[in-house]
């Protein structure tokens, strides 16, 4: 701006004195200053102001100490970041992390039981598929839920006990994984069965187990969060035993209990709604911190 | 911006890059080293929590100093800094003064600090942003939310006020 030698660079002197100008701007000011005593005098004034401003400034704290202090405050102060994107990413990270922590036995046992069911159905004949799956798939799901949580089943239990992620949220993440897996397994088993016996429709097969499986899993999940995984598995298994008994014991097969069971353990709008309600209750329960210090910074609750 | 991903190393890198300028701005603006350090922490904490809100359209420096200025306003509103007694260098006394401190202390440093601290807060602010934070006039304008012309005129007024304050304290040098 001063290249013409007529216009003074008054406007840029403060920035020049502050050391802000770079490249061509800086070169232009320097070129003008070389031949302009009045601008040099003005620059001296700004340099004095700059020196006065920065002279008594103390050195800042070290980066290590201040970052430590800031992170400590971030962890202690339960103000969670308000942005949804962060929640979604956290959910993804949690699922990935928990995937590594669910023991291989859970995956293996589920697939073995499901394979047995397929074999049984094949041996039992064309019409056995739906019945076998409707009995086995829900049990596999409950077994999976039982296998993912608790001191004796969890390799990372000690670590989990001291993390800020609420244990119920961890349970929810694992159950989501296990349920997705069981869903895929049961679908695969149904596909195999309908391929082996083409007269049995895939939709019929899926309807046979989907409702009961979802309802039983939702029930055992809610119970696991409420009264703990061991008791929950026991209660779910007992309920399931009642259902199996009403089918297999002739004396019970025509009674009111059997009618009730047929209504409850079916794929119908009612059971789906009930399962959803139970799942929502479980989710609500999972976001309630278990310990007073629960909440920061990973907590999804706010 | 990696700080947005919860990367503490990125926060440390950000601090290594801007820490001196941030700290300088806050020390001169607040006139108190302890308060300045608290606000520096507040600022980094706010950065840590709001890095995901950082918009690329503004530079990192303007974003950072904008946060620091807001944090300073928040805290100074509570602390009422205008009531802090000014007793020259005493507030800045450091057990181990560096060369700069020695030079200033030997050359009527008390009068200089006293004069600067006596300035109105909007004058201290613009001087600290320009000469301690080393921001361009355009960046300062963005941080203060005023036109660039206003920044320039405010700087001139601040310079004049500083010269008067120095003269009042018997500090004689060729200040305009």
Question: Are residues B174 and A74, on separate chains, in Cβ contact within 8 Å?
Answer: no
The whole-angstrom separation of Cα A222 and Cα A216 is 10
Query: CA-nearest residue of chain B to A86?
Result: B52
**Contact residues on chain B for A83, CB-CB shorter than 8 A:** 52-53
Domain coordinates in residue numbering, chain A:
10-54, 84-286
Does residue B176 belong to any structural domain of this protein?
no
Q: Measuring CA to CA, which residue among A163, A164, A166, A157 is closest to residue A290? A: A166
| A23 interfacial to chain B (CB closer than 8 Å) | no
**In 10 A of CB B176, how many CB atoms?**
14
Q: Measuring CA to CA, which residue among B67, B62, B38, B36 is closest to residue B50? A: B67
The domain in which residue B90 lies consists of 2-168
**Contact residues on chain B for A63, CB-CB shorter than 8 A:** 12, 15-16, 19
The whole-angstrom separation of Cα B98 and Cα B81 is 27
Question: Residue B28 has which token pair?
Answer: 């001169």
By Cβ distance, the residue of B27, B45, B53 closest to A58 is B27
Question: Are residues B49 and A61, on separate chains, in Cβ contact within 8 Å?
Answer: no
Length of chain B: 176
Question: Are residues A55 and B12, on separate chains, in Cβ contact within 8 Å?
Answer: no
Q: Measuring CA to CA, which residue among A213, A229, A223 is closest to residue A151? A: A229
pTM, to two decimals: 0.49
302 residues of chain A, pLDDT tens digit each: 444 445 677 888 999 999 889 889 899 999 998 888 888 988 988 998 898 888 777 888 888 888 888 888 888 776 655 555 566 777 787 788 777 777 788 888 888 888 888 888 777 766 667 778 888 888 888 888 777 765 556 666 666 555 666 667 777 788 888 888 888 988 988 888 888 777 777 888 888 888 888 888 888 888 887 777 788 888 888 888 888 888 777 777 777 877 887 777 778 888 889 988 988 888 787 666 544 333 344 434 43
Q: What is the ipTM of this complex?
A: 0.77
Does residue B128 belong to any structural domain of this protein?
yes
Does residue B175 belong to any structural domain of this protein?
no
The whole-angstrom separation of Cα B66 and Cα A62 is 22
By Cβ distance, the residue of B12, B28, B174 closest to A53 is B28
- CB within 8 A of A3, min separation 6: which ones? A28, A31, A32
Question: Are residues B152 and A81, on separate chains, in Cβ contact within 8 Å?
Answer: no
pLDDT (tens digit, 9 = 90+) per residue, B13-22? 889 999 999 9
* CATH code (residue B40): 1.10.10.10
Does residue B173 belong to any structural domain of this protein?
no
Q: Are A142 and A216 in contact (CB under 8 A)?
A: yes
Question: Are residues A83 and B53, on separate chains, in Cβ contact within 8 Å?
Answer: yes
Q: Which residue has the tokens 């069981």?
A: A182
Does residue B60 belong to any structural domain of this protein?
yes
Distance from CA of A176 to the nearest CA of B (A): 25
Question: Are residues B155 and A14, on separate chains, in Cβ contact within 8 Å?
Answer: yes
By Cβ distance, the residue of B15, B28, B101 closest to A63 is B15
**Contact residues on chain B for A77, CB-CB shorter than 8 A:** 45
SS3 category, A160? helix
Question: Residue A128 has which token pair?
Answer: 């056995």
What phi-psi label fits residue A23: left (phi over 0), alpha (psi between -120 and 50 degrees) or beta? Answer: left
Looking from the CA of B82 toward its CB, the CA atoms found within 13 Å total: 6
**Contact residues on chain A for B33, CB-CB shorter than 8 A:** 58
For chain B, how big is the Rg over CA atoms in Å? Answer: 17
The whole-angstrom separation of Cα B125 and Cα B74 is 15
SS3 category, A107? helix
**Contact residues on chain B for A81, CB-CB shorter than 8 A:** 49-50, 52
Question: Are residues B8 and A67, on separate chains, in Cβ contact within 8 Å?
Answer: yes
Which stretches of chain A are DSSP H helices?
10-18, 23-34, 37-54, 63-76, 84-101, 104-124, 128-146, 157-161, 167-196, 202-227, 229-248, 256-264, 269-286
Domain count, chain B: 1
């Amino acid at each position: 701006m001063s290249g013409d030698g007529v216009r003074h660079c008054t406007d840029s002197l403060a920035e020049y004195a502050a050391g802000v100008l770079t490249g061509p701007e800086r070169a232009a000011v320097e070129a003008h200053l070389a031949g302009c005593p009045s601008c040099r005098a003005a620059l001296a004034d700004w340099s004095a102001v700059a020196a006065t401003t920065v002279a008594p400034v103390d050195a800042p704290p070290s980066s290590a100490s201040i970052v430590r202090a800031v992170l400590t405050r971030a962890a202690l102060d339960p103000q969670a970041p308000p942005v949804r994107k962060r929640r979604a990413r956290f959910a993804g990270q949690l699922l990935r992390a928990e995937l590594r922590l669910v023991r291989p036995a859970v995956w293996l046992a589920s697939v073995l039981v499901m394979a047995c069911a397929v074999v049984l159905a094949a041996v039992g004949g064309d019409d056995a598929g739906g019945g076998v799956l409707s009995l086995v798939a829900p049990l596999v799901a409950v077994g999976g839920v039982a296998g993912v949580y608790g001191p004796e089943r969890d390799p990372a239990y000690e670590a989990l006990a001291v993390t800020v992620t609420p244990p119920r949220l961890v349970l929810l993440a694992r159950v989501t994984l296990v349920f997705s897996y069981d869903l895929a397994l049961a679908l695969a088993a149904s596909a195999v069965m309908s391929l082996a016996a083409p007269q049995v429709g895939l939709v019929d097969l899926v309807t046979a187990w989907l409702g009961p499986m979802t309802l039983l899993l939702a029930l055992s999940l809610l119970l696991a969060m409420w009264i703990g995984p061991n008791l929950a598995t026991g209660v779910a298994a007992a309920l399931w035993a009642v259902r199996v008994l009403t089918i297999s014991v002739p004396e019970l097969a025509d009674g009111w209990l059997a009618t009730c069971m047929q209504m409850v353990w079916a794929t119908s709008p009612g059971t789906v709604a009930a399962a959803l309600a139970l799942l929502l209750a479980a989710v609500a329960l999972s976001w309630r911190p278990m310990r007073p210090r629960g909440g920061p910074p990973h907590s999804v609750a706010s | 911006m990696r700080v947005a991903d919860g990367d503490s190393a990125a926060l440390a890198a950000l601090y290594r890059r801007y820490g001196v300028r941030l700290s300088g701005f806050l020390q001169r603006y607040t006139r108190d080293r302890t308060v300045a350090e608290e606000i520096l922490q507040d600022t980094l904490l706010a950065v840590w929590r709001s890095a995901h809100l950082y918009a690329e359209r503004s530079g990192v420096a303007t974003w950072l100093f904008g946060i620091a200025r807001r944090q300073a306003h928040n805290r100074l509103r509570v602390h009422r800094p205008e009531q802090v007694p000014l007793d020259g260098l005493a507030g800045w006394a450091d057990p181990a003064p560096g060369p700069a401190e020695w030079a200033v202390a030997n050359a009527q440093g008390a009068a200089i600090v006293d004069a600067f601290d006596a300035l109105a807060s909007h004058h201290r602010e613009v001087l600290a942003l320009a000469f301690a934070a080393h921001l361009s006039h355009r960046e300062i304008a963005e941080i203060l939310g005023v036109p660039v012309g206003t920044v320039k005129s405010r700087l001139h007024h601040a310079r004049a006020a500083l010269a008067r304050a120095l003269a009042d304290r018997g500090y004689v040098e060729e200040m305009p």
